A and B are shown apart, each in its own frame.
Chain A
Amino acid sequence: MTTAILKQPTEPTAARKPNRSFVHGLRTNKKAMTGTAVMLVFIALALLAPVLFPGDPSRITDMASLEPSPEHWLGTTAKGQDVLALTVHGSRSSLFVGLTVGFASTFIGILVGLASAYFGKFIDEALSLATNVFLLLPGLPLLVILAAFLPPGLGTVILVLVVTGWAGSARVLRSQALSIRSKDFVAAAVVSGERAGRIMFREILPNMASIVMGTLLACVIYGIGAQAGLEFLGLGDVSTVSWGNNLFWAGNEGALLTGSWWVFVPSGVCIALVAFALALINYAVDEVTNPRLRKIKTPKDTERSAAK
């Protein structure tokens, strides 16, 4: 897992209705479209896995450690399992966990961030304290300790990843919510006596659409990567088929030492492709909402490069 890139809280684009231009900006952005296309392919593969490769992909056969061939496009493992079937089936658990963790952590982040920014004072102090403590606790060791004490299973993996993953999004969303909280239309809503929940979710939240989306994408990337890491350490549910477990078994069966690179490569590449696709969409969101990051040469830049 790489270090989290600290996000600069971007200024909200104008007020009120940024949504249409935001969606339009994404649809005309090459990065966003490439990322979305890759994600759609993987989601389709995950949904179609039982149709494409019927039967149990982890069934042990006597066709052990075969190189890629027309019968087994990606070869077989030391236990005679078809690597392509394992990889395609693995996408189901990996995408499911990634998306669940992403949505759950973002949801908690939204609740904590909005409540923090809206109520301020004591509530803000308490929630910020909790957020900062969770941000500081070292993620992977905490993940390992929790996984060691909880009974193994998919639920545990998801729970552990949400517990260690929500704080980052809460902090980013709080700072954005704070800047919108100070806008006039929110003050107007407060004075007109609207309920707190309505102001938070109907007035403030819609103006944070882009940053919520960025947070969600980052959380899904985190979920997929952290699940793979946890499973690679043998701390997930080793009986399920997922990209992380495929790599755990590959390592366990000494795939690299025996030169069976085809067992080791596909799941890693799939994780990378999904993470890269999501990162592309995330960067596109940043570019669309933060004009400064767009690749337009300002007169000043041209001048400067000309001077060199």
Chain B
Amino acid sequence: MRFILRRLGFYLIAFWASITLNFLLPRFMPGDPVSRMFARTQGKMQPEQIDALRKLLGVDDRPIWEQYIDYLHNIVTGNMGISISRFPAPVTEVIAAQIGWTLLLGGTALVIAAVAGNLLGILAAWRRGGAIDSALPPVLIFIGSFPYFWLAMGALYLFGVILGWSPLRHAFSDGAEPGFTSEFLSDVGAHLVLPALTIVLVSIGGWMLGMRNTMIATNSEDYITMAEAKGLRPGRIMFRYAARNAMLPSVTSFGMSLGFVVGGAMLTEVVFAYPGVGYQLLNAVQGLDYPLMQGLFLTITAAVLLANFMVDVLYVRLDPRVRNN
């Protein structure tokens, strides 16, 4: 319990740091974002919008601590202002419409990559120098060396443009009726396959090598020799004795990768025009939609922190040693 409270404190500090960063950035950066935006929209902004923006971005004349308190109050009450590019929708509404797609894409890819990668790692370590152990790592490291967006575009070109197996953009076809119908769900699935597969392809190597290297250490432990001497079935030794004890670093990586789910799917979303928070963030940056940009960054950070906290709680259950110190 004390461990969990300590971690909770840590995440609160991390969240405070990121909201403060978010507060400070527009105030201490050179240039005046509001004028830049005003020029961009060619005077189409309403006076009250300009006022609200000045307040949000801290270009008004109040003392900085007063602005800070106001800002913290807004965040706590979930008021992140009005989106400029999607006026008059509130930032929170825009984000709520998109976070689901990001979770679907990133979550699917992460689970597949982690499960498959760990299994491959277990097998590779179990048969040192075997086919999986010698052939896969170099191939995966080589694939992982390519810039992710480059691979994704190549895959899109090959499977989307040339072969026509995969839809080119978005999360579902234009004109499809959203709802829990089998028709719509299979349409969503078809749009999900290629983006998810490309993420799996580049991230699976990390899982595999991490698991392989810890497994190699575990395999030379005495209790493995003991289990072998007892004549247990190899499969049982491999999963129950060796892999189980080598799993913990993977659990930690899983927590860290949850950051990849929300933030790191950004390039995927951009390449595939997938309507998640990452794609929206780039649009917000390009459209100088500062309120939306800040709201998205905070949401992404909050999601990452929350996910990591949940993994920490899980970790306590998995590793009793954590509880004791």
A-side residues, CB < 8 A to B, are 1-6, 8, 129, 132-133, 135-142, 144-151, 225, 228-229, 232-235, 244, 247, 251, 256-257, 261, 264, 268-269, 271-273, 275-276, 279, 283, 292-293, 295, 297-298, 300-301, 304-305, 307-308
**In the complex, chain B residues 154-179 whose Cβ is within 8 Å of any chain A Cβ:** 154, 156-157, 161
Is the pair B10, A141 in contact by a Cβ cutoff of 8 Å?
no
Complex Cα spacing A257 to B144, Å: 25
- Across the interface, B216 reaches (CB within 8 A) one of A151, A257, A292, namely A292
**Segment of B68-76, B80-88, B183-191, B207-215 engaged in the interface with chain A:** B207-215
Residues on A with beta carbons closer than 8 Å to the beta carbon of B257: 3
Q: Closest chain B residue to A150 by CB distance?
A: B29
Q: List 25 A-B contacts (CB under 8 A).
A: A2-B206, A3-B206, A6-B252, A8-B213, A8-B249, A132-B14, A138-B263, A139-B259, A140-B264, A140-B267, A141-B296, A141-B300, A148-B293, A229-B148, A229-B149, A232-B147, A235-B285, A256-B153, A264-B154, A272-B145, A272-B146, A293-B213, A293-B216, A298-B220, A304-B234
Binary flags per residue of B287-325, CB closer than 8 Å to A gives 1, else 0: 000000110110011001100100000000000000000
Residues on A with beta carbons closer than 8 Å to the beta carbon of B210: 5-6
Nearest first, the 3 closest Cβ-Cβ pairs linking A and B are: A138-B263, A275-B145, A268-B150
Is the pair B285, A272 in contact by a Cβ cutoff of 8 Å?
no
Is the pair B148, A233 in contact by a Cβ cutoff of 8 Å?
no
Is the pair A144, B281 in contact by a Cβ cutoff of 8 Å?
yes
**In the complex, chain B residues 189-227 whose Cβ is within 8 Å of any chain A Cβ:** 202-203, 205-206, 209-210, 213-214, 216-217, 219-220, 225
Complex Cα spacing A247 to B147, Å: 10
Given A1-B148, A140-B263: 9 more A-B contacts, CB < 8 Å: A3-B203, A4-B206, A8-B213, A137-B14, A140-B264, A141-B296, A225-B147, A269-B146, A300-B220
- Across the interface, B256 reaches (CB within 8 A) one of A3, A234, A257, A271, namely A3
Residues on A with beta carbons closer than 8 Å to the beta carbon of B13: 129, 133
Q: Closest chain B residue to A225 by CB distance?
A: B147
Least Cβ–Cβ distance between A222 and chain B, in angstroms: 12
- Across the interface, A272 reaches (CB within 8 A) one of B26, B142, B149, B203, namely B142
- Residue from A137, A261, A293 having most chain B Cβ neighbours under 10 A: A137
Complex Cα spacing A180 to B256, Å: 27
Residues on A with beta carbons closer than 8 Å to the beta carbon of B217: 8, 292
Is the pair B220, A292 in contact by a Cβ cutoff of 8 Å?
yes
- Across the interface, B18 reaches (CB within 8 A) one of A137, A225, A271, namely A137
> Given that A138-B304, A141-B296, A146-B25 are contacting pairs, would A5 and B150 also be in contact in the complex, using a CB cutoff of 8 Å?
no
Residues on B with beta carbons closer than 8 Å to the beta carbon of A140: 263-264, 266-267, 278
Is the pair B145, A279 in contact by a Cβ cutoff of 8 Å?
yes
**Segment of B41-49, B91-99, B124-132 engaged in the interface with chain A:** B124-132
> Given that A8-B213, A297-B128 are contacting pairs, would A149 and B145 also be in contact in the complex, using a CB cutoff of 8 Å?
no
Whether B270 is near chain A, meaning CB under 8 Å from some CB there, is yes
Residues on B with beta carbons closer than 8 Å to the beta carbon of A3: 203, 206, 253, 256-257, 260, 264
Is the pair B150, A247 in contact by a Cβ cutoff of 8 Å?
yes
Complex Cα spacing A149 to B37, Å: 12
Is the pair A138, B253 in contact by a Cβ cutoff of 8 Å?
no
Residues on A with beta carbons closer than 8 Å to the beta carbon of B63: none
> Given that A145-B25, A275-B145 are contacting pairs, would A307 and B234 also be in contact in the complex, using a CB cutoff of 8 Å?
yes
Is the pair A139, B286 in contact by a Cβ cutoff of 8 Å?
no
Residues on A with beta carbons closer than 8 Å to the beta carbon of B262: 138
Least Cβ–Cβ distance between B156 and chain A, in angstroms: 8
Least Cβ–Cβ distance between A165 and chain B, in angstroms: 14
Residues on A with beta carbons closer than 8 Å to the beta carbon of B150: 247, 264, 268, 271-272
Is the pair B256, A232 in contact by a Cβ cutoff of 8 Å?
no
> Given that A132-B14, A133-B14, A138-B304 are contacting pairs, would A268 and B213 also be in contact in the complex, using a CB cutoff of 8 Å?
no
Residues on A with beta carbons closer than 8 Å to the beta carbon of B285: 144-145, 147-148, 235
Q: Closest chain B residue to A151 by CB distance?
A: B30
